[in-house]
């Protein structure tokens, strides 16, 4: 699994957990969903996300560049 695929997996899990918490615990948990969405948007432009650093330290590799 590559860093990009793992990042999408982690983001999806966090969004679903956040939505579940908003439904069953407290509506303020939607702020976590908003934070994740904003972080995904900024990482699309900068190609940098704190989770990517963690995933690389866990041993995941970046995708090979296609030229």
Q: What is the pLDDT of residue 65?
A: 58
Cα-trace Rg, the chain: 14
State how many domains the chain has: 1
Q: What is the pLDDT of residue 21?
A: 95
Is 64 domain-assigned? no
Is 65 domain-assigned? no
At 4, which helix (H) or strand (E)?
helix 3-24
- In three-state form (DSSP H/G/I as H, E/B as E, the rest C), the secondary structure along 8-65 is HHHHHHHHHHHHHHHHHCCHHHHHHHHHHHHHHHHHHHHCCCHHHHHHHHCCCECCCC
Q: What is the pLDDT of residue 60?
A: 93
pLDDT of 67 > 50? The answer is: no
Query: pLDDT digits over 13-32, tens only?
Result: 999 999 999 999 999 999 99
Q: What is the pLDDT of residue 46?
A: 92
Is 15 domain-assigned? yes
Tell me if 57 sits within 8 A of 15, measured CB to CB.
no
Is 66 domain-assigned? no
Domain span at residue 16 reads 3-57
Predicted TM-score of the model (pTM): 0.80
């Amino acid at each position: 699994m590559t860093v990009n695929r793992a990042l999408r997996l982690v983001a999806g899990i966090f969004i679903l957990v956040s939505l579940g918490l908003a439904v069953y615990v407290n509506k303020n948990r939607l702020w976590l969903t908003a934070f994740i969405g904003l972080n995904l948007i900024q990482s699309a432009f900068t190609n940098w996300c704190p989770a990517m650093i963690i995933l690389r330290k866990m041993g995941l590799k970046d995708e090979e560049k296609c030229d």
